Structure 1
Amino acid sequence: MRKSLFVALVCSALVCAFVLPNLSAMEAPGDMVLKAPEGVKARFSPVEFSHDAHSALDCESCHHMLAENPDNYNCMTEGCHDLFNPTSVEEKKDIAYFYNAFHDRRSEHSCLGCHMAKKKAGETTGPLACTQCHPK
């Protein structure tokens, strides 16, 4: 039992010493354009997104699956938000629907959800209206 505990503690210490500093040292890409996946008809224009404007946030604020899959930052890959053309009301509410990755009002991991939570807390927030993100 003591040996197992010792091994677990040593492994945890190694992870803290080598892996965590590398995660925080990762540099986010610059500005980018977020758009609907191929094959999906977009109702609004693409969104210009600035990682620099969000640099005060921890990466996992948005990339909430980062701990489980540290090599994948893309929300629309298999197993994440990969439902592109929902066919039912239930599917449209599903977190796997790519639209919800950005617009789920109940999730602080989505753009809109985070901005709404900040507004509710009385903090400075980003855009809350459709046309503020999606210019005509």
Structure 2
Amino acid sequence: MKKFLIVALLCLFGCSTNAQPNQKPTGELVLASLFASADIKLSKEPMCNMVSASMNKSSLRLRDHLATALSSSFESKNKTTISTSCNESKHELKKGKLMDVWDCTLLINEMTPDEEFISSSTITFSLNKHNLKFVKKSLRCF
């Protein structure tokens, strides 16, 4: 029994040390976290409380903002480019406490076929550095 317990503890310790919570998230994980948070009401995110001229809704959600930003060149000859990135940062919690996060950005640019700038949208958000979950109140939209 003692031998089994020691082996189980070593396996558990080995698994937890291989998790590497400080490893930079992949692009797939970043976008999956953003899309999984698509139901967030923008009115609950003070830095992303957007309105929409094209959508007749009293309360926009992140999915609405993403749909508007990503559809800018729909059925036109213009082109939309998307880039993503993450950097280590801190997120301030209540009472001044700080949380280690990955601060991630989704940048959407719309250009003419001749590469002339038309518009851009930036969505920035944080992922908890330890569990890579979306951090509420970290959403910023420009």
Tell me the TM-score normalised to structure 1 length. Answer: 0.30
> Per residue, is there more strand in 1 or in 2?
2
> Per residue, is there more helix in 1 or in 2?
1
The structure with the larger Rg is 2
Larger RCO, structures 1/2 (Cα 8 Å, 6+ apart): 2
